[in-house]
Structures are given as structure tokens and as C-alpha cells.
Amino acid sequence: MTAPSPRRGFGRRTALMGALGGAAGLLAACGGRQDAARIATDDRWRQFAGTTLNLISENTAPTAAIAANLRPFTELTGINVNIVTLELSAMVQKVALDLAGGESQYHVIYADPYQVLAPYSKGLVDLRELAGQPDLPPLQGGFADFIPTQLDAAGRFADADKIFALPYDCPTMIWQYRADLFAKHGARMAADLGFDPTPGPQRTWEEYYRIAAWFNDNTDDVAFGTGQQAKQHDSLMCDFSNVLWAFGGDYFAGGEAVGRIGTVDPGPCQLSSDAAIAAAEFYQRLLAVADPSSKTWDWNGLAPALSSGRVAMCVNWHEYAAANEKAIPGAFGYAPLPKGPVRSANHYGGCGIGISGNTLPNQRMAAWLFVLWATSPQTQLDGLKSSAGGGTPTRQSVYDLPEVRRAEQRPSEMPNILTAPAVRTAWEPANIGLRPKIPMWNECDTAIYTELSRMLAGDSTPAEAMRAATTRIDRIVARGWTS
């Protein structure tokens, strides 16, 4: 849910699951720099039995599911795991202090690409080194089993040859809508609007706007056609970015490479371009027909507006599908986002998990065992089925399982997987939307949503907002970054 700052100070969909009760109290006291003991055994999974690992994570659905079902890992390895979950900005502060201080209080780290991976990659282990050790279990399916765009965006930084994290969650913004209402009114909408209103990447953003306005004017089934996550918050940047990329704009030149691999020097900001200004002008128009409460909503405010029947459609992180299906079973549909003049762009907000470079040799290998298990196909499948929430898989092999394929159709015991056809398309290189992976992104994010908020309040024009954001971002980037 980057985002995300949400996605991120990404609290993206951070409150999907509340903080795990009492988790902080579980954190093992960290006294001294004593390495874990290694046991002589032929069982590669049990070499570090008796070790205690500490995982620090944002409050996410996958972490909640793992915390609720740690017993299989402990039985497999003899390793105990304490889990601390925090709001992302608080988590980042603790990780930064731990890495800077040369400690490894946290062995396994939820590595948000923008607030942890980009600024602190030098403090993380290159996981290829552990994957190649013959006395450790192999990485099932290899690195190639992870969705390629996700492995790049969540796992790499600056150097395409190094992998600092394995994809752990994959919230992606898609078109979520009341399929029952589109079915009920579809023929009339088509006649009135002059096009087939069926949601999908074949629709344009202008058509999305017209569909929203149609619901406003022609039915009492919902109060508004669309809602947006346009609060002065990271969610506003996330929401706007889909339109920006669709219109052919971007934050920096070479946006695909800056988003997938990342860089410490992205060059001048591109938000003053004609395409970016056109995107801002459209976004301002869209908010004029959206639920007025949109300016007070982040992703967590928007989600219940859809699931409770207040709006007919919205753009939100796909992992809210489970809540939708619980609220009004069978009433929802999921599709990739509309296209702009250039493409359909679907904002990806996934994160990975990595290992602190401050870990001692045996601690590091024990932590690798946990990373292997936590991102394994079986654990990801268990997460899909978890009553504690769970995320959606980051491995292609899980989507290929017959039971998962069947669950893409209703009735489904894995409601989040109902979005699989939409997100598969969204993750294709031509359709994925990736914010810049740069060390100073958090400051840039603040500049973007602050200027957009001023625009939506009527304090600046779209052109003025984009130019002001450009000036602020160029100053931020010019200061550079030293980690």
C-alpha cells in the first residue's frame, strides 16, 4: 500500500493492519557484539538453532500474517524471531540510527526503496553473496522467480548487479469499481457518453472523468462517481503520479531507470514540462467532480468510501480488495488504470526485506534463512490464505499455482488475488509507474504534495504549482546526499 512517504513518509496502506500488540516489548535485549553460535549438522536449515533474530518492519499485511504464523519457521530452523512493527517514518529513524551506530539490533530490515534502500544501501548486505554459499539452503526458484520489475524496484539501487532486498510486498494502484453498478447502468452510460464505459486500460483519463460526472448527475445509487486520495500527504503524490506518467510527464529525465534502479544524481526536475502541467490541469478538473472529502482522504480514508457505497469507483492500492469483498461480496471489479495521451501508468509501492550490513557472519547467515523463508512460495501462499491479512505474492511461481489461478474467479478464498489479472498488466514494464528511487526522495515528495495541495485549494494555478515544485526539488537535489 511507497506509498508507498504510503508509499511513504510512506504510510501508504500502513494502517491496513494495526501495530502488532506488544511487539516492541518482544525485542530481545542487544548486549555486546557476540555472534550467533553455529552448529555442526547436515541440516542446512538448523545450523543456527537457538539464535534469536530481530525483524523491524512497517505495519504491513505480510508482516502481520508472518507474525501470526512464525511457528513453521521456528520448527524448521530452531531460530526465534522477534518482530517490531512501526509506522514507516518511525521505523526509518530506528534503522538509520542502528546502521549509523554500527550495531545490528535489527538483523532483518523492511527496506522501503525510497526511505531505506536508496539512502542506506551501503548499510545493507548484497544478498547475492549469501545466495551463492553452498552450505546454505538455495533460494527456491532463484532471483528469476520474482516479478522482474519488482526485483529491480524493491531490490536494487544504483548498481544493477547488486541485490539488497527481496521483494516482500507489492501494493499497486489500480482502478477499483462497483461492477454491479456498471452492469446496472452500463447500457445507459454507453448511450449517454458515446463509449463503452467498461473500466480498463482501453479507457482514457478523460473518459474516467466523464464516467465520474455521469454518476454524479444520473443516479442516487452512490453519492459521487469517484473519490481521490488528495489529502496534503504522500497519498496526494501517489494519486497524482498515475496521471502525470499517463500524460507523458515525469519527475526526472530517464524516469524508468531512475525508478527501477535508482541514482544519487537524477538531474534537473521535469515537472515544469508541458506534459506535467497538462497532467496537473487534468487532475485539478478531476478533483472538481470527485467527492469533496477527497481532499481530506489518504488511502485509508478513500478505501471505506468505496467499500461502504459512497463512491462508484476510485484509484487505490490493490490490497484493499480483501476489505472490499468482505464489505459487499461480489460487487467489485478491478482493472488497470486508464490511459493518458502516452500510456496507462499504475503506481507500484512495493518494498523488500534485506539484512543489516552490521550483522556478524553467523547472524547474517541466520538472517538469510529467515529472508529465504519469509519470501518463499509457500509462505507467500500461506499469506494469501491468512486470516490475519496477508499480502499478495511477489513470485511468479505462486501466481502459476492451479489453486491460485482458480482463486482469481469468484467464489474465492483469496480475495486479494481477484486483482491478479489487473496487477499482472500493471506490472508490465510499459505500464508500471515508479517514483524516483533517490536518497532525497522523502523531501521531494513533501514538496510535490505541498504544491499540489496549494493548487487544489485555489492558491496557485497548475502551471504555478508545477514550477514551484520544480524549483523546490532542484534545490533539494542540488544539496546532494551523503549516507
pLDDT of 363 reads 97
In terms of domains, do 323 and 370 share one?
no
CATH number, domain of 38, equals 3.40.190.10
pLDDT of 183 reads 98
Residue 186: domain span: 173-347
pLDDT category at 386 given cuts 50, 70, 90 is confident
Last residue of a domain, one of 400, 434, 464: 400
Among 344, 296, 350, 392, smallest CA distance to 149 is for: 350
C-alpha cell belonging to residue 137:
539452503
For residue 336, being part of any structural domain is answered with: yes
Residues 6+ apart with CB under 8 A from 89: 9, 11, 115
Burial of 193 (0-12, 13-18, 19+ CB in 10 A): middle
In angstroms, how far is CA 461 from the centroid of its own chain?
A: 30
In terms of domains, do 125 and 154 share one?
yes
Residues 6+ apart with CB under 8 A from 94: 56, 84, 86, 106
For residue 375, being part of any structural domain is answered with: yes
**Residue 157 to residue 1: CA distance in whole angstroms:** 21
In angstroms, how far is CA 458 from the centroid of its own chain?
A: 30
Give Dmax over CA atoms of the chain in angstroms.
74
For residue 181, being part of any structural domain is answered with: yes
B/e letters for 430-451, b = 16+ CB within 10 Å, e = fewer, are: ebbbbbbbbbbbbbbbbbbbbb
Q: Is residue 11 pLDDT above 60, yes or no? A: no
pLDDT of 33 reads 81
For residue 160, being part of any structural domain is answered with: yes
Q: Is residue 427 pLDDT above 90, yes or no? A: yes
In terms of domains, do 264 and 326 share one?
yes
Sign, CA dihedral 362-367-369-372, equals negative
Last residue of a domain, one of 331, 347, 363: 347
**Residue 477 to residue 314: CA distance in whole angstroms:** 33
pLDDT of 17 reads 29
For residue 381, being part of any structural domain is answered with: yes
For residue 117, being part of any structural domain is answered with: yes
In terms of domains, do 145 and 185 share one?
no
Residues 6+ apart with CB under 8 A from 173: 238, 239, 242, 315, 316, 317, 318, 337, 346, 347, 348, 349, 426, 433
**Residue 451 to residue 272: CA distance in whole angstroms:** 13
Q: Is residue 465 pLDDT above 60, yes or no? A: yes
Percent of the chain past pLDDT 70, that is, above it, reads 92
CB-CB contact of 434 with 242 (8 Å): no
Q: Is residue 98 pLDDT above 60, yes or no? A: yes
pLDDT of 390 reads 66
In terms of domains, do 151 and 191 share one?
no
Percent of the chain past pLDDT 90, that is, above it, reads 88
User: What DSSP character marks residue 16?
Assistant: G
Indicate the pairing of strand 173-178 with strand 311-317: antiparallel
In terms of domains, do 229 and 326 share one?
yes
pLDDT of 282 reads 98
For residue 454, being part of any structural domain is answered with: no
Segment 51-76 shows an average pLDDT of 94
In terms of domains, do 106 and 90 share one?
yes
In terms of domains, do 149 and 117 share one?
yes
CB-CB contact of 432 with 438 (8 Å): no
pLDDT of 389 reads 66
In terms of domains, do 96 and 202 share one?
no
Last residue of a domain, one of 347, 377, 411: 347
Segment 309-329 shows an average pLDDT of 95
- With cell 469507483, the residue in question is 313
Segment 88-92 shows an average pLDDT of 91
Torsion angle of C-alpha atoms 188, 189, 194, 196, degrees rounded to 10: -110
**Residue 422 to residue 314: CA distance in whole angstroms:** 14
pLDDT tens string 135-153: 999 999 999 999 999 999 9
In terms of domains, do 162 and 220 share one?
no
pLDDT of 391 reads 79
Q: Is residue 21 pLDDT above 50, yes or no? A: no
The structural domain count of the chain equals 2
In terms of domains, do 256 and 334 share one?
yes
- Grouping H, G, I as helix, E, B as strand and the rest as coil, residue 34 is coil
Q: Is residue 14 pLDDT above 80, yes or no? A: no
Q: Is residue 166 pLDDT above 70, yes or no? A: yes
For residue 413, being part of any structural domain is answered with: no
CB-CB contact of 105 with 426 (8 Å): no
Residues 6+ apart with CB under 8 A from 459: none
In terms of domains, do 263 and 361 share one?
no
**Amino acid occupying residue 229:** Q
Q: State yes or no: cis peptide before 411, omega within 30 of 0.
A: yes
pLDDT tens string 250-291: 999 999 999 999 999 999 999 999 999 999 999 999 999 999
**Residue 79 to residue 49: CA distance in whole angstroms:** 5
